[in-house]
Structure 1
Amino acid sequence: MAGFYDKPMILCLIFTISFGLFLSYTSAELQRFLHPAKTDGSLSFLVIGDWGRRGYFNQSEVAFQMGKTAEKLDINFVISTGDNFYDNGLIDENDAAFEESFTKIYTAKSLQKHWYSVLGNHDYRGDAEAQLSPVLRKIDSRWLCLRSFIVNAEVAEIFFVDTTPFVNEYFTDADGHKYDWREITPQKSYVTNLLKDLELALMESTAKWRIVVGHHAIRSVGHHGDTQELVKELLPVLQANDIDFYINGHDHCLEHISDTESRVQFLTSGAGSKAWRGDTTELNREGLNFFYDGQGFMSVQLCLTEAKIDFYDVSGKVLHRLHTSKQLHPSI
């Protein structure tokens, strides 16, 4: 874990859950969690997004296949890319939808691991702060959702970014929806400060693999397409800091797009339940490697020199595989 304890940090929280001890720190303004890798130094996790529909729209079927894959890979944890509860987030921290869409759906023994989650735009249409509440962790100890934070998993650092406040349309043309902007406004200040904190944390990172997770796509050929605010404001930060992967949801599909100007690979896993929109964005298809319009999920396996990423459909079939490698020691 070289590079983790050698930076100035402030211990701010320690909590124990049924499957391990996690230490939380602050680095700049982003809360940091330590999640140990496996004893051999490797790391594996699943990624699911746009899922919480009480088991409907094949959510339960996807969950079943996730359980099988998680057992096979002996995963360390699960990442949720947001839109955790449809259609309008949670009513409050006692909303039955939490258990009906999460606890009672992802029941496989192999999925009883930590779930690291970000908020999506649909989550902001309800009580956004309910999903951040420690009350939910008392109901289901797997759950951890914050606006933006960092998970240090030794071989990789994963930077979770709250992307919904970047999108101007949600503030100027809410289309009849009410968003929970507590702690967010003024929008410009919130986004500016978040980008500063993220950039500082990325510059300090010495992890072999660096991954950024957000709800909205930077690049997508799906229904929503590219998120222009992220292309303008977030992408340059990722490119300047040699990020390996940007993982998102929002479009209800599976995608792999390569950046044409940097090493960043854009990976969409937003197919946890309702999918099959049947439309794609025809603009900006540069770098497109894979697109699938149906339900599914993604797995990530990392060691010091290799990354293997698989995309699965609702039956557990591998549809696409990304395999990339790095030198153990950088060339001089």
Structure 2
Amino acid sequence: MAVENCSHDEEAGLLTGKISSCSKSKCWFQILLASVSVVLVISVISWYPSFGGRFIQSTNKKGSIIISKSLDNNPLHFAVVGDWGRKGAYNQSWVAAQMDKIGQGQKFSFLISAGDNFYENGLSGIEDPLFEESFSNVYTGENLQKPWFAVLGNHDYHGDVLAQLDSALVLRDSRWHCGREYQLLHQLESSAHGGSYVEFFFIDTVPFVDEYWQTYHKPMDWRGLLPREEHLVQKLQVLSKALESSVATWKIVVGHHPIYSEGSHGDTVELIERLLPILNTQKADLYVNGHDHCLEHIKREDSSINFITSGGGSKAWKGMKPTPNKNGVKLYYDGQGFTTFTVTSTHLHISYFDVYGSVIHEVDLYK
């Protein structure tokens, strides 16, 4: 099988309160309604597949979904791949096969998608066959049958964004989970003092990019995000508070767009201005992204954060930006591949794999 080389690409309560004075029939109705609500809440908690752990899904008043996982599993292994959904083409299937092969040894607990899940224009609806053609029918390996936690990319916004967020997709493939903003908490060790954790903070970066809002740009599905500035302010406030209150040993933030990148898209200035200061202040350890179709590791002197690009899930070889500055660049691989992570309470190890499944770069961080 030959590796395909391409150079061009176009650029998604319980009822609370008290019963005071009411008729007997009305009281019984409220009691019945409250009982139904209890059953629904229990069903939501039990519905999400366990995959050997315990997942709890809840929705707050702003609609942000929080997923928490509580399970002793030290070390934790997971993989990240972005920019993949092309019905297996452009070596998507080959990358998937290599991920499965590596997963046999690493025993992934879950996988993370860094966005641009379905090319070129996202999903057309919850019944779009592209979901199976680009996801279920490609990532068929035994070691990839784990939860997939996804963020949205700009290509996903060209279609029906709400379809990717709909729980109906979970009925089509129980591995799938996608949200605008959510958290994933994984226990590494338990102790009398609470143990140690790694916490993931998933954020939708697409609305930050000014270009997508211009009239000349291809239409985007902005439902639920207007007014824009109010949405962005609320999003950043929620993330800042979540990072600040986290007791995790490792804090990993996942979004689609890079903060810094030497790839063809380059830095995302809106994220440098608005997101990066929060990540620095709240001491995030990693920012993980896709968007540029390459593999990168950047560690600049002016930030304690390691910037990890894992956007090599399918179409790649797009070249570097016109004027690369190479500030803090430890790796730039202009091709297909993926990354894997091994996390303990004191050590975080990242391996970069190319399309052939060979390790091309490694990162070791310690606490």
TM-score by length of 1: 0.91
Q: 1:123 aligns with which of 148, 156, 175?
A: 156
Please report how far the alpha carbon of residue 301 of structure 1 lies from its aligned counterpart in structure 2 after TM superposition. Answer: 0.6
Q: 1:147 aligns with which of 150, 164, 180?
A: 180
Specify every segment of 5 or more residues in structure 1 that has no aligned partner in the other structure, as ranges: 1-10, 327-332
Q: Which amino acid aligns with 2:117?
A: N
Please report how far the alpha carbon of residue 210 of structure 1 lies from its aligned counterpart in structure 2 after TM superposition. Answer: 0.2
Contact 1:32 1:152 in 2 (8 A): no
In structure 2, the partner of 1:261 is: 302
Q: Which amino acid aligns with 2:49?
A: I
Q: 2:293 aligns with which of 244, 252, 272?
A: 252
CA-based RMSD: 1.5
Aligned CA distance change for structure 1 residues 182 and 91 (closer, same or farther; 3 Å): same
Aligned CA distance change for structure 1 residues 101 and 174 (closer, same or farther; 3 Å): farther
Specify every segment of 5 or more residues in structure 2 that has no aligned partner in the other structure, as ranges: 1-40, 188-196
Q: 1:162 aligns with which of 162, 182, 204?
A: 204
Pairing 1:33–2:67 present: yes
Q: Which runs of 4+ in 1 moved over 4 A?
A: 26-29
In structure 1, the partner of 2:129 is: 96
Contact 1:258 1:287 in 2 (8 A): yes
Q: 1:69 aligns with which of 90, 102, 123?
A: 102
Please report how far the alpha carbon of residue 43 of structure 1 lies from its aligned counterpart in structure 2 after TM superposition. Answer: 1.0
Q: 1:19 aligns with which of 38, 41, 51?
A: 51
In structure 2, the partner of 1:329 is: none
Aligned CA distance change for structure 1 residues 109 and 280 (closer, same or farther; 3 Å): same
**Aligned with 1:110: secondary structure?**
helix
In structure 1, the partner of 2:139 is: 106
Aligned CA distance change for structure 1 residues 38 and 107 (closer, same or farther; 3 Å): farther
Aligned CA distance change for structure 1 residues 299 and 280 (closer, same or farther; 3 Å): same
Higher share of residues assigned strand: 1
Please report how far the alpha carbon of residue 35 of structure 1 lies from its aligned counterpart in structure 2 after TM superposition. Answer: 2.1
Contact 2:48 2:57 in 1 (8 A): no
Q: 2:214 aligns with which of 167, 172, 178?
A: 172
Pairing 1:58–2:91 present: yes
Higher share of residues assigned helix: 2
Contact 1:37 1:76 in 2 (8 A): no
In structure 1, the partner of 2:225 is: 184
**Aligned with 2:48: secondary structure?**
strand
Aligned CA distance change for structure 1 residues 42 and 96 (closer, same or farther; 3 Å): same
Pairing 1:136–2:177 present: no
Aligned CA distance change for structure 1 residues 99 and 66 (closer, same or farther; 3 Å): same
Aligned length: 314
In structure 2, the partner of 1:294 is: 335
Query: Rg bigger for which structure?
Result: 2
In structure 1, the partner of 2:251 is: 210
CA distance, structure 2, for counterparts of residue 250 and residue 153 of structure 1 = 26
Aligned CA distance change for structure 1 residues 174 and 105 (closer, same or farther; 3 Å): farther
Aligned CA distance change for structure 1 residues 281 and 76 (closer, same or farther; 3 Å): farther
CA distance, structure 1, for counterparts of residue 61 and residue 104 of structure 2 = 36
Please report how far the alpha carbon of residue 26 of structure 1 lies from its aligned counterpart in structure 2 after TM superposition. Answer: 5.1
Matches within 5 A, 1:181-330: 181-326=222-367
Aligned CA distance change for structure 1 residues 45 and 281 (closer, same or farther; 3 Å): farther
TM-score by length of 2: 0.83
CA distance, structure 2, for counterparts of residue 51 and residue 153 of structure 1 = 26
